[in-house]
Amino acid sequence: METKPYILIADDDPEDQELLADRFRNLNPSASIKCMDNGFVTLSWLEDQPEDQLPRIIIIDYKMPGLTGAEVLRVLSESRYNSIAKVVWSNSNNKQYIDECMTKGAIKYFVKPSSKKEFDELVTYLNNYINA
């Protein structure tokens, strides 16, 4: 079954979810966007999805309550999720966080953008993984 591509955003900040989702909708109106507000809900939801309905990309906030982005990545290292691009974003550019996420399977770690231009650049970069 061919489904339209979609993005999963796991972030506990509703404003960050909305900003990122709006930018994606502007750039790629055909993509669907699903938002989760913590790592536990994200992992539970993914577990319940059929293989052919997994997202193309997951954007994970590093500093979520309950499970950090790195802890979510550790669980997502199972082979079922290998084809999904995983990106971590955070307000922190802590080298330890970056290294930890990259070794656990993130394709990229971004510091959350502070301007519309930076958001657009981030979404343009990420959009390449949706259309791959």
CATH code, domain with 49: 3.40.50.2300
pLDDT in tens, 33-68: 999 999 999 999 999 999 888 999 999 999 998 899
Q: Give domain status of residue 28, yes or no.
A: yes
Asked if residue 50 is part of any domain, the answer here is yes
The answer to whether position 111 is within a domain reads yes
Q: Is residue 86 part of a domain?
A: yes
pTM of the model: 0.91
- pLDDT of residue 1 exceeding 50: no
* pLDDT greater than 70 at residue 11: yes
Q: Does the residue 84 lie in any domain?
A: yes
pLDDT of 61: 97
For residue 2, tell me if it sits in a domain.
Answer: no
Distance of CA 15 to the CA centre of its chain: 15
Could you give the number of structural domains in the chain? 1
* pLDDT confidence band for 130 (50 / 70 / 90): confident
Within a domain: 29 = yes
> What range does the domain containing 65 cover?
8-130
Is residue 72 included in any domain, yes or no?
yes
CA 1 to chain centre: 23
- Strands across the sheet with 57-61, in order? 32-36, 6-10, 57-61, 85-90, 108-111
Percentage of the chain exceeding pLDDT 90: 62
